[in-house]
Amino acid sequence: MKITIDKNITYGEEAFSQVGDVQTVDGRHLTNGMLFGTDALIVRSVTDVNEMLLKNTPVKFVATATIGTDHLDKEFLQSAGIKYISSPGCNSTAVTEYILALLSNIANKHENTLVGKKLGIIGVGNIGRKVAECARILGIETILNDPPRERIENNNIFSSLEETLEADILTFHTPMNRGGKDNTFHLLDESKIFRLAPGKIIINASRGAVIDNLALLNAKKEGQNIDFFLDVWENEPGINQELLKYTQIGTPHIAGYSLEGKINGTKICYDAFCEFTGKRPEWKPVLPPVENNIIDVTGLTLYPALKKIFDVVYNIDEDDKNLRAYGSNIASHFDTLRKNYRVRRELKNYDIFSNDDKLVNLINYLKTI
């Protein structure tokens, strides 16, 4: 079996070389001609997998080491009899911790508290559920919006999008659906953006086009009092540099880039391929230990303690600084920032000492997911 793998998939070559001959490629610039003789293709979200890419190739298995599938032409894959899988939930803990790092940052700018703030969670899947549970532990009231879940579960825990947009802080965790009753393309469009109440805070760690980036920029330029924190952007890697200037914290699509999250994606793809081929899955990733993993925040109140923890575990300001460092050359370095991303470990690897009950409960929860 010949397996073509995006070279930026963590441990990808190590895992798949045990079950076939591996060819590594630049997933952003993968072409049809590179897939001559390829039986299986393992990609990330930067590769559009469609008929143009796979035409006249022997590819019979496609896996993406990502949660989202909007880069896969599922209709074509099904019609061509090509098995495809994604990696749902692989980096949900990493993204949850990214959101917590942002909430800590926001709290620090609001006198170290989010008391009285409501968190609107749009998309309550693998990530949104965890964010909601963390908010509950922290004592933050949530408003949940997820039409597909609402239809299936038929319960009263969900609110309409319009009601959810009344929350003080909005965080988006939806897939990218273009069209249909669950369309999420420009879910937050120009009309909704300009109707937002002053002081609104917007977080997007889902897909860039869930929010109309140009409308967001225009609203800010016209003096609308909103703050936004963006990990994902329309037209990556050629992101809107003017929008970045107005962004409170901007990062290069790395919310889920913990080492654990990356390896989870690889493992899901590897196990699925072994099942597809009838091979026994023998590869087990070995993660390096975390040194200096003791963090003592005893005596600090909740949000100052949380900030101190994330200053050690995941300093999100560093990602923001690195993205802005390239100025007008961001497009040519966006993928480099992702490829050369530092090793980031999840909070479960740290021993944290605190006498704040909410924080203790939060840490215990994060160690279980």
Residues annotated as part of the active site: 207, 236, 253
Task: Look up residue 61 and give its two tokens.
Answer: 């298995």
What are the backbone angles phi and psi of residue 345, rounded to the nearest 5°?
-105, 150
Q: Beta partners for 2? A: 21
Q: With beta carbons less than 8 A apart as the criterion, state whether 226 and 196 touch.
A: yes
Quick check: helix, strand or coil at residue 294? Answer: strand
**Tokens representing residue 293 in the block:** 């993993």
**What is the SS3 assignment for 206?**
coil
Between strands 351-353 and 226-230, the pairing is unpaired
Question: What's the DSSP call for residue 65?
Answer: S
Q: Are 2 and 20 in contact (CB under 8 A)?
A: yes
Contact 104, 306 (CB under 8 A): yes
State both tokens at 11. Answer: 């441990």
